[in-house]
Amino acid sequence: MPVVVVESPAKAKTINKYLGAGYTVLASYGHVRDLPAKDGSVDPGHDFTMTWEVAADSRKHVRAIAEALKTDDVLILATDPDREGEAISWHLQEALAPTIRKGKQVSRVTFNAITKSAVTEAMKQPRQVDQALVDAYLARRALDYLVGFTLSPVLWRKLPGAKSAGRVQSVCLRLIVDREMEIEAFRAREYWTVAANLVTPRGQEFEARLTVLGGRKLDKYDIPTAAAAELAVQAVTARSLTVKSVEARPASRNPYPPFMTSTLQQEASRKFGMGAKQCMGAAQRLYEAGHITYMRTDGIDMAPEAVMAARDEIKRRFGTAYVPESPRMYKNKARNAQEAHECIRPTDMQASPDSLKLEPDQRKLYDLIWKRTIASQMSAARMERTTVDLASADAQVELRATGQVVLFDGFLKVYEEGRDDEDEDEGRLPQILQGEPAEKRGITPEQHFTQPPPRYTEATLVKRMEELGIGRPSTYASILTTIQDRDYVRKDKNRLIPEDKGRLVTAFLSNYFRRYVEYDFTADLESQLDDVSAGERDYKEVLARFWRDFSAAIAETADLRIGEVLEKIDEFLGPHLYPPRADGSDPRLCQVCGTGRLHLKTARSGGAFIGCGNYPECRYTRPISVSGDDGAAGFPDGQVLGQDENGLPVTLRNGRFGPYVQRGEATAEHPKPPRASLPKGWTPESLTLERALMLLNLPRRIGPHPADGQMVEAAIGRFGPYVKHGATYANLADAEEVFTIGMNRAVEVIAQKTARGRGTAAAAQPLRDLGTHPDGGVVQVMPGRYGPYVKWAKVNATLPKDLSPDTVTLDEALALIAEKAGKGGKAKAPRKAAAKPAAKAAGAKTAAAKKPAARKAAAAKAAPKAAKA
């Protein structure tokens, strides 16, 4: 009986159902081998020999497959149809070599969708493992290892607080940092437009914009001031307008091609705010359930039978007018699409989103995929674009109105792609005839300012990386996750903002390893790796050429001192760290002491800040960057709010941990004057002297406790606002309550805390019950001090930033719990009936693949792919 190996138990269960009792279907749980996380796993001195190790969690899975092969003579490797899947098959073949040598037959099959027809057809077309794809994987894995294990230690030694660098990750980070520096360097330019509200002889209103003034066509900046705009308004007001021309042009819009990995991630981000990791997790579950084709692909063509099925479904749902005369064919623009070649589409075109029982994230994503696929085979939308020009008799003034009418909606009936930057839609114009007059109802000047380039979202960053040829579709999610997990970048309102650590790492690499963060160099290396996967280049030649120059660049940094590195980075970032001042004074001169010069410094925490060279006499500090969204950008550091009752100045300042208030100045006798950070919800712009003194005078004495006479106080601490009585601390919900709480309320809060047990918190109530774990026991979403987490038995797994406690599904929770249990030892399941027996076809041979580990599929599959970053 043939042994079929796939990556995940969910996939194994589905395929076992299709193949029947004549096959034993087992799961490898992702990669079974990897490079040990230690120096020397790739040896450039010995022809880039790579030392592989079977992971501890994978040993039992390899043993289960080996046991099955003792009685079965055929091994079929049915891992995913991309380069990573090919690598997993190769690793399995190598790890099982002792068993396979005993005359066993080994073959490789691939299918783009987990459907009965696709799986059974694939079994009829076995082949051997594609060594070219394996070589491309080996090259990427070796490059990522060599960069990570060689460059990261340089960062640790030369740039305190830096965590690591990566071959593609560092280039992605540079994109975000470069964009932020563009925004900071941007200077807005003022310009004006003039619009007129006009009326036809039939009383219908429409709007037109001034395009010609003084007989000359206007450019964007030709009306630069309010005075110039007023003159333009007067020029239009003083003249009668007549319709000069009316031009109506037919136009059409063709549908978008079906999804590939990168476009799916972009659209899920635009429409649902899904991060790339969340999107791919939902897509993985849809694929394993057999609802969609393989989701890691840079192909956009569709199988002929799928095209015909889509056309039939369009005709059935919308009628023959929506079906084009001939099928639409889409060709991939990529020179070498090394991933699975078909687009991401539903496996059954008749399975509409409302006909399937899916979790919320999966439902939204499937709806998106289904609509995009159906729309891609629909008729074009037909419309009419109308342009109306109106002019004065002397031709000194001319205005233009534009509009658009949809004559036939075509594919727009089903789907319209989201936009990264919304434009104003053109409205429909009333009936306007050439030569007729237009009455003026109002003429309005409008002020505008040029806008800086927008910060990247995950969607626009993926799009930009794809345009530059950096990375590949299967790696984008892991790259974006890595730079956020390492605190190089934070996501705020779906925009990616570089942290200070990210800026410093980028500045360091740009100065000392410039070539390796250049976009063209990284894209060219990707092209070379594509050549390897196509069998056109030897992967060890690629490694040797890269290593020769890279190791030399590493050697050049051996004698660098930290002070020298900071000085170089300080100089490199100078234009952005010390922008010109309005008064023309030296941007590096300390505004507090007036004599010290500002320099870049690093903190023990790993962050960076700007500090005065006269430290410790002058303790002025500020962050290296203050964005317009931070609220702290609008006030000058050291702003004097007033004086306290003793005549000491109270100032508002900005430190490396955010805005704070300070009483007095640092002196030799008092090097640390009283300070207080602004609590959450307080903005620098709204701060007054009175509120600053309220902060500086904390803790606030409420009065003696009626029971024992001990003083009750209110204050703001590390974990937020609280009231204190003796050794009892009781948290308050709002910082404002610290300044208003009275004795009755304070006694009540303290009593509630005491009733729960001295020094202990109340038992947290679950936010949601997700369902029952396969081994028994409820799985819950819980609130925590450091964020929400999922809980089962004694296993607590923190929710990632891109998973909301309101939308997390049971499957996602089980994957997190399995991953957490794998890291910290096996969780002890609640006492319950024995776990469900393994799949019928697997029989006793699948006993090693126990049910508790079954839910590790998503995590185990994602982990090896994340290593590509």
Catalytic residues: 294
Separation CA 57–CA 822 (nearest Å): 7
DSSP label of 681: T
DSSP label of 45: G
Contact by Cβ (8 Å): 490, 484: yes
SS3 (DSSP) at 120? helix
Separation CA 126–CA 294 (nearest Å): 19
Burial of 235 (0-12, 13-18, 19+ CB in 10 A): middle
Residue type, 447: Q
DSSP label of 762: P
Q: How far apart are the first and last CA of the chain?
A: 39
Contact by Cβ (8 Å): 52, 91: yes
Closest to 307 in 3D by CA, of 269, 276, 272, 345: 345
Separation CA 768–CA 789 (nearest Å): 11
**Which pair of tokens denotes residue 778?**
């409820």
Closest to 682 in 3D by CA, of 619, 634, 631: 631
Preceding peptide of 699 cis, ω within 30°: yes
Closest to 261 in 3D by CA, of 420, 92, 115, 480: 480
DSSP label of 589: B
DSSP-assigned letters across all residues of 635-677: S-TTEEEEE-TTS-EEEEEEETTEEEEEES---SS-SS--EEE
DSSP β-ladder status, 74-77 and 105-108 = parallel
Separation CA 155–CA 507 (nearest Å): 12
SS3 (DSSP) at 79? coil
Q: Where are the beta strands (DSSP E) in 656-748?
A: 658-663, 675-677, 700-704, 711-717, 720-725, 728-731
Closest to 657 in 3D by CA, of 779, 549, 789, 500: 500
Contact by Cβ (8 Å): 676, 695: yes
**Which pair of tokens denotes residue 343?**
């687009």
Separation CA 770–CA 789 (nearest Å): 12
Q: Which residue has the tokens 């509009």?
A: 403
Q: Which helix (H) or strand (E) holds 246?
A: strand 241-253
Q: Is the dihedral of CA 764, 765, 769, 774 positive or negative?
A: positive
Instruction: Give me the residues paired with residue 449 across strands.
Output: 190
